[in-house]
Amino acid sequence: MRTINDLGDLHGKRVLIRCDFNVPLDGQTITDDGRIKAALPTLTQLTQAGAKVVVMAHLGRPKGQVNEKYSLAPVAARLGELIDADVTLAGDVVGPAAHAAVEALTPGNIVLLENVRFEPAEESKVDAEREALAAQYAQFGDVFVSDGFGVVHRKQASVYDIAKLLPSGAGHLVAKEVEVLKKLTEAPERPYVVVLGGAKVADKLSVIDNLLKVADTLIIGGGMGYTFLKAKGYEVGSSILDAEKVDVVKGYMEQAQAQGKQILIPVDTVVSPEFGEGAGIEVVDSDKIPADKMGLDIGPKTAALYAEAIKGAKTVFWNGPMGVFEMPSFAAGTKAVAQALADSDAFSVVGGGDSAAAVRQLGFADDEFGHISTGGGASLEYLEGKSLPGLDVLEGN
């Protein structure tokens, strides 16, 4: 895969770069700037080399419509605070404001185009529509750098089609993510433990299938844990349940047993009659969940069991929280897993998305883990063995 270091001297050149600035917002306040900070090594190298840097990024799902709620204005302000360069936000994506901003750009400084998902063709399933938009993007650059790992699994104009039009290479973030994920898939040091949480089993079924071939132990938590409990024949009350996948999950549990692999599921659960911090919160064994209550976190016995499994690992990959960590009453399980990873000597990878937000919200520093990925979906698809268009297009380009 070609990288930024294969693109030669970039002084005075216009470098079009795709970043992933899809940060969580509370109104106009960024609540986790991890994805902006993750882009700094590449952006700093470009500005210090005297490149004219034009950044493409998205925020949220505006679905091809201009929506001020999803403007990149807060991102431009925060990037300007973090980097020693002038950052200008263009008023549109490929319109007159963008052209004027890029035309006025001087070496060592940055123009951030508005949210590329304001353009209907950005995510189009019609190749010709995306290619036409990519041709407009290409007017802003002499070379293209792909550094938005969180979108490399998408065939989108600013990720895939643009890389076919300009000399292209991966930025430091994408190159690092690929290096880490290769370590997990090709020769992980054992024991290799994978922790999977989050709400939906369906999102992670294929990765479970693939990981059973390479991991020694799978730890299951979060909303998906209740589908596994149901597969054991337990009552799960009003907990999140993917009823259509119960039989598939039974098959995975049988497969793991046949292969001598371990799948750990919750032995106790924090339940409540409602989704919220209200009264009635209690801890019950997982085979005694009341029919009128829902599970919202793993219990303390489960947290200790999972921490012990992590303690003995040499490699750990974690994707998905153990409970509704945003609410203090249901954050203990996720915090216990994060603490176990932080205390471990294992090579630990936190797989993006909610997991990355959780460890920061719960007070952990990035350097307490081996690697915090910026791409939850992209990480999972890579581990699943899928082809990622945004990476494939950089091969031999």
Residue of 20, 23, 37, 25 lying closest to 81 (CA atoms): 37
The predicted pLDDT at position 352 comes to 67
Higher pLDDT, 93 or 360: 93
Percent of the chain whose pLDDT exceeds 90: 84
Same fold for the domain at 4-173 and the one at 180-383?
Answer: yes
User: Does 58 count as an annotated binding residue?
Assistant: yes
Percent of the chain whose pLDDT exceeds 70: 99
User: Does 373 count as an annotated binding residue?
Assistant: no
In the block, residue with structure tokens 């963008």: 98
Residue 331 has pLDDT above 50, yes or no: yes
User: Does 22 count as an annotated binding residue?
Assistant: yes
DSSP string, 305-373: HHHHHHHT-SEEEEES-SS-TTSGGG-HHHHHHHHHHHH--SEEEE-SHHHHHHHHHTT--GGGSSEE-
Q: Over the stretch 82-91, which tens digit does the pLDDT of each residue have?
A: 999 999 999 9
* Radius of gyration over every alpha carbon of the chain, rounded to an integer in angstroms: 22
Q: Over the stretch 48-58, which tens digit does the pLDDT of each residue have?
A: 999 999 999 99
Mean pLDDT of the chain, nearest integer: 94
In the block, residue with structure tokens 């002084």: 11
The predicted pLDDT at position 213 comes to 87
User: Does 99 count as an annotated binding residue?
Assistant: no
Residue of 23, 24, 30, 118 lying closest to 68 (CA atoms): 118
User: Does 326 count as an annotated binding residue?
Assistant: yes
Range 180-383 classified under CATH 3.40.50.1260? yes
The stretch 66-93 carries a mean pLDDT of: 97
User: Does 144 count as an annotated binding residue?
Assistant: no
The predicted pLDDT at position 396 comes to 60
Domain ranges of the chain: 4-173, 180-383
Under 8 Å between Cβ of 15 and 68: no
DSSP count for the chain of H helices, then E strands: 13, 17
Question: Please, what is the end-to-end C-alpha distance for the chain in angstroms?
Answer: 8
Catalytically active residues are: 35, 200, 353, 377
The stretch 255-271 carries a mean pLDDT of: 95
Residue 397 has pLDDT above 70, yes or no: no
The predicted pLDDT at position 187 comes to 86
CB count in 10 Å sphere of residue 125: 7
Under 8 Å between Cβ of 201 and 242: yes
User: Does 204 count as an annotated binding residue?
Assistant: yes
CA 223 to mean position of chain CA atoms? 18
List alpha helices for 84-204, DSSP H.
Answer: 96-103, 127-138, 172-186
Residue 77 has pLDDT above 80, yes or no: yes
Higher pLDDT, 360 or 301: 301
Q: The domain 4-173 is classified under which CATH number: 3.10.580.20, 3.40.50.1260, 2.60.40.1180, 1.10.260.40?
A: 3.40.50.1260
In the block, residue with structure tokens 């996720």: 334
The predicted pLDDT at position 386 comes to 86
* Confidence bin at 384 (pLDDT 50/70/90): confident
The stretch 371-377 carries a mean pLDDT of: 86
Q: Over the stretch 184-232, which tens digit does the pLDDT of each residue have?
A: 988 899 999 999 998 877 778 878 888 888 899 999 999 999 999 999 9
0.85 exceeded by the pTM? yes
